[in-house]
């Protein structure tokens, strides 16, 4: 148990059996009435962000997560198979637990998997992932390198907006925080 005075961005809280990551917090001391802490919490299962207010000094449950480095192997039906890089154990993780990270899972990629009480909570891909373009409109002579963009479908099914010079077969670097094209990698 911790109090609101111990809040730090990035800690994980267990509120009524649901895990939340603390994204933002602000201590507020109004002129009249008691102090309180305004927070923004991200649900680890659904990714939904909620706002919640706590009384100053209120005690909340801290969830201790064990983060493991794992390698993504392949998809097996509705599960994704990962291998622990320390013990070499294989761990199936369901689609719900993988969530939005599925768009960035390329075979062989190393990810962080937070475990709570021995069970995977989510999958955290690296900040940048390199993926191959499998479908995009061909570039037309006269299109400029900085003049616009077109949609491109990557090997995981993710669609990103790319410059006109990108072609099928190119490898692109994508930012997993925003889902945007960063650069062409050759």
- Among candidate residues 170, 173, 145, the one with its CA nearest the CA of residue 181: 173
Q: Which helix (H) or strand (E) holds 94?
A: strand 90-94
- pLDDT > 60? residue 145: no
CATH number of 66-120: 2.40.50.140
CATH topology of domain 2-62: SH3 type barrels. (2.30.30)
Mean pLDDT of the chain: 85
- Reported as a single tens digit per residue, the pLDDT across 71-111 is 998 888 888 899 988 888 888 888 888 878 888 888 888 99
Residue 41 or 186, more confident: 41
Tell me phi and psi for residue 95, to 5 degrees.
Answer: -55, -40
CA-based torsion, 105, 109, 112, 117: positive or negative: positive
What per-residue confidence (pLDDT) applies to 114? 86
Tell me phi and psi for residue 19, to 5 degrees.
Answer: -90, 135
Tokens of 61: 């449950």
Name every residue whose Cβ is closer than 8 Å to that of residue 59 and which is 6 or more positions away in sequence: 1, 2, 3
Range in 60-64, 97-101, 177-181 the model is least confident about: 97-101
**CB-side neighbour CA atoms (13 Å) of 25:** 22
Residue 104 or 46, more confident: 104
Adjacency order of strands within the sheet including 150-154: 159-162, 150-154, 128-136, 171-175, 180-185
Cα angle at 72 between 163 and 150, to 5 degrees? 10
What per-residue confidence (pLDDT) applies to 141? 60
Domain ranges of the chain: 2-62, 66-120, 128-185
Rounded alpha-carbon distances, angstroms, from residue 99 to 14, 22, 80, 168:
19, 19, 11, 27
pLDDT band at 34 (very low <50, low <70, confident <90, very high): confident
* Beta carbons of 170 and 155 less than 8 angstroms apart: no
pLDDT band at 143 (very low <50, low <70, confident <90, very high): low
CATH number of 128-185: 2.40.50.140
pLDDT band at 166 (very low <50, low <70, confident <90, very high): confident
Rounded alpha-carbon distances, angstroms, from residue 21 to 42, 113, 143:
5, 14, 44
User: Distance between alpha carbon 61 and the CA centroid of its chain, in Å?
Assistant: 23
Tell me phi and psi for residue 133, to 5 degrees.
Answer: -80, 125
pLDDT band at 9 (very low <50, low <70, confident <90, very high): confident
What per-residue confidence (pLDDT) applies to 147? 65
Domains 66-120 and 128-185 alike in fold: yes
Mean pLDDT on 118-143: 81
């Amino acid at each position: 148990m911790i109090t609101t005075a111990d809040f730090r961005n990035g800690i994980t809280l267990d509120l009524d059996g649901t895990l939340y990551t603390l994204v933002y917090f602000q201590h507020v001391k109004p002129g009249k009435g008691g102090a309180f802490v305004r927070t923004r919490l991200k649900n680890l299962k659904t990714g939904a962000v909620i706002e919640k207010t706590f009384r100053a000094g209120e005690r909340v449950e801290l969830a201790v997560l064990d983060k493991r480095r794992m390698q993504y192997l392949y998809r097996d039906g509705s599960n994704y198979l990962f291998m622990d890089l320390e013990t070499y154990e294989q761990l199936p993780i369901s689609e719900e637990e993988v969530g939005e990270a599925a768009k960035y899972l390329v075979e062989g990629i190393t990810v962080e998997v937070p475990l709570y009480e021995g069970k995977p909570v989510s999958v955290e891909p690296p900040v940048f992932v390199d993926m191959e373009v499998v479908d995009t409109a061909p570039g037309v002579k006269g299109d400029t390198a900085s003049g616009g963009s077109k949609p491109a479908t990557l090997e995981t099914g993710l669609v990103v907006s790319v410059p006109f010079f990108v072609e099928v077969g190119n490898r692109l670097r994508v930012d997993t925080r925003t889902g945007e094209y960063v650069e062409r990698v050759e």
